[in-house]
Structure 1
């Protein structure tokens, strides 16, 4: 594999992981960000993102002389052969992706790009963005390529270095092959296609996953009403190779930095060409309903009225293994509890306050003290090992709403607590060895 000179613009989850991992593969990488303080911290080997293995790669890359950080995109691309745009594309007006950051950087760097380099959009962007970037660059010698990322927060480094596939799209086959060659050392299946198809892959994949999660949450509701156990149902489904085990776990809804904005964006993309994508609309509606169902479980547990009721909250991040609160379903549930008048005290191992409307504490036992109900919203492993007998003594009520079926139900029952999960009817269930 030939080592290449690579620039990465943006040092968020995607950009920093991309830069550090490409450096670990032997490429010489310059990462750029507008935030001078952030750049200074990265130069000092300080990574603020909670991502296993990432800090080590940043330190190792700089020590090896293959990774550096600069302020400003223009300072990163001067001698680059490949430039990755890893910029935020948040939900804009009406749910469409906001491409202002991508467009701004494309205009900023066009005059300083080396002759014949390739500009790669790694951000999740609507179909046609590569063509738009190409037009903004105003450089016939510079090719635009789409290379969507499939990184999960909490396992981003592992996902990058052990990918299921590499997707590269461009209307220039030569440019696509140049980008694909950067990842050759990974030995992953590589799929080359046109730019529009590559851009569509990311939306199609993420929206399918969101749909799968909304589906299993709907199945969980049916299980509660019909006396079935969703855990057993999902196990029975998951062995079917056509379905698979992943994303078959009910919870308080899906969230994070990708699925909410990508589902809304795909609806907007579809509407722009006259397609009413009712399946994705229903997926979004089902997700909101699931969050409301969890709020309803807490409300029912305290007698039907939340105003003035103290509720302990365990977990605020959108998933365990990250400190990301962006579109967190846990936070959405907590905020709805606050809107209904509940007095919230919350704990998350990686989230500190303040947060509007609730007290965020640094100890789980403090969070549940005096609570009439406790709701578990993020499946941090530490929650399974809490002293539930102590919690039973600290709380004023006995209800534990386990929105992710994460806890040991028997341990809670032995402590004198009442466990309420998702997709499990309040009936005695036979135990099979």
Structure 2
């Protein structure tokens, strides 16, 4: 099938490359000439595992263009994958989506064959109907069908999540659902040859396909992210309680996770969620509920717990060091999660702000995210790509992002490098065997004073 993807961010680029890999002819269109030229040269402008190799494997089945209208005119299916960032009140900004739709309709108006427009951007309920109304206002609704096909990608594993999804959701008319079922046929049947860098998970033979109406598809994406955010906030509340009563949240999580009705996923206590999806989508769903006349109390609490959770680490540092003025604190990890350079809603930023407000001298290290972070960090923050240098003479280290380089560094090495072996673990991720070398403080974990170990 001939597919055009409008937008080459995480979702659009990953979707376009994976669709080309499984055999479709794909045009990825974006108004950014610099980014488009990078992609033509085979350079991926985002850090996402496996995408450069996948792009190379696609060969001539994929192309990159800034001619969005022309790309839409020649397509059987147009996928909208543009940004919908949050506005101040929490509602998503839809101006980019509507502008992209206008451009697509300009192209479609020049032909007289059917085109399916598929919205992959996360949008409020009813947006699909508005997109269809835009086509109707042009007098071309007989040639246009609109569908919703929400994505459920995790940054850092977007390629695997696209090739081996837990489900594919198709919202729209029966005709639109049938076309999407054909588009994703190789993924649904899992009959394509898996790339070497992303082998097929053992036992995966087919992928569920959910054919639903437009509004259910649009709301379903928000519901999934809000529920996962709720699990994160719940276990963080339990962690904060554990700190006060002397229990261990990792043991609580094991008890909860063993219940098949709950499951183990997203029960890792720490500093809360960040990134481009959970913060934006929880606020957007809360706004949707409010404008619909419903007070979503549970979601209000989820958002508030997550906002507060980032500052728990600062309190732990105060308990360990006393006044933070003049103390060197090393931040380990800036990106919101490992295996990405994305700084959107990264917990590191408010943590650093709070430390600076208390007079701490902050040094930051990240194996991938320093370039993305440089314009977001205050000028007084020292950054370095050398982990040894970052830890030299540090009064404390704070693990914010659980990159492997930090987990494999070794407790003894931390102790030797630092001025004081105070380690605050915002992800409860440091191997247990390393903790005894340090004055270790986790979130909801029993504090472990370092042993008198000879070095």
TM-score after normalising by structure 1: 0.94
Q: Deviations over 1:134-186 (max 9, x none)?
A: 1223331201110000000011110111111100101x211122122211111
Quote the offset at 1:330 in angstroms.
2.5
2:83 to 80, 83, 88: 88
Q: Work out whether residues 334 and 370 of structure 2, in 8 Å CA contact, stay in contact via their aligned partners in 1.
A: no
Structure 2 SS opposite 1:174:
helix
2:352 to 318, 324, 334: 334
Q: Deviations over 1:73-123 (max 9, x none)?
A: 213212100000000000013010000100011112212114310111101
2: CA distance between counterparts of 1:155 and 1:422?
Answer: 26
2: CA distance between counterparts of 1:51 and 1:310?
Answer: 32
TM-score after normalising by structure 2: 0.89
Quote the offset at 1:267 in angstroms.
0.8
Match of 1:10 in 2: 7
2:277 to 245, 254, 258: 258
2: CA distance between counterparts of 1:296 and 1:158?
Answer: 38
Match of 1:288 in 2: 307
Match of 2:384 in 1: 361
Match of 2:192 in 1: none
Q: Higher mean Cα deviation, 176-185 or 17-26?
A: 176-185
5 Å-filtered alignment, 1:29-428, equals 29-61=26-58, 63=59, 65-113=60-108, 114=111, 115-137=113-135, 138=138, 139-140=140-141, 141-170=143-172, 172-187=173-188, 188-303=207-322, 305-353=323-371, 354=374, 355-356=377-378, 357-414=380-437, 417-426=438-447
Q: Work out whether residues 226 and 425 of structure 1, in 8 Å CA contact, stay in contact via their aligned partners in 2.
A: no
Structure 1: 4+ residue segments shifted above 4 A: none
Q: Work out whether residues 274 and 345 of structure 2, in 8 Å CA contact, stay in contact via their aligned partners in 1.
A: yes
Match of 1:431 in 2: none
2: CA distance between counterparts of 1:301 and 1:239?
Answer: 34
Structure 2 SS opposite 1:203:
helix
Q: Higher mean Cα deviation, 291-300 or 380-389?
A: 380-389
Q: How many residues align?
A: 419
1: CA distance between counterparts of 2:219 and 2:359?
Answer: 42
Q: Work out whether residues 313 and 368 of structure 1, in 8 Å CA contact, stay in contact via their aligned partners in 2.
A: no
Structure 1: runs of 5+ lacking an equivalent: 429-433
Q: Higher mean Cα deviation, 349-358 or 233-242?
A: 349-358
Structure 2: runs of 5+ lacking an equivalent: 189-206, 450-455
1: CA distance between counterparts of 2:43 and 2:82?
Answer: 21
Q: Work out whether residues 2 and 74 of structure 2, in 8 Å CA contact, stay in contact via their aligned partners in 1.
A: yes
Structure 1 SS opposite 2:107:
coil
Q: Work out whether residues 166 and 191 of structure 1, in 8 Å CA contact, stay in contact via their aligned partners in 2.
A: yes
Quote the offset at 1:308 in angstroms.
2.5
2: CA distance between counterparts of 1:297 and 1:425?
Answer: 12
Quote the offset at 1:387 in angstroms.
4.3
Q: Work out whether residues 271 and 277 of structure 1, in 8 Å CA contact, stay in contact via their aligned partners in 2.
A: yes
Q: Work out whether residues 227 and 427 of structure 1, in 8 Å CA contact, stay in contact via their aligned partners in 2.
A: no
1: CA distance between counterparts of 2:271 and 2:312?
Answer: 8
2: CA distance between counterparts of 1:6 and 1:97?
Answer: 26
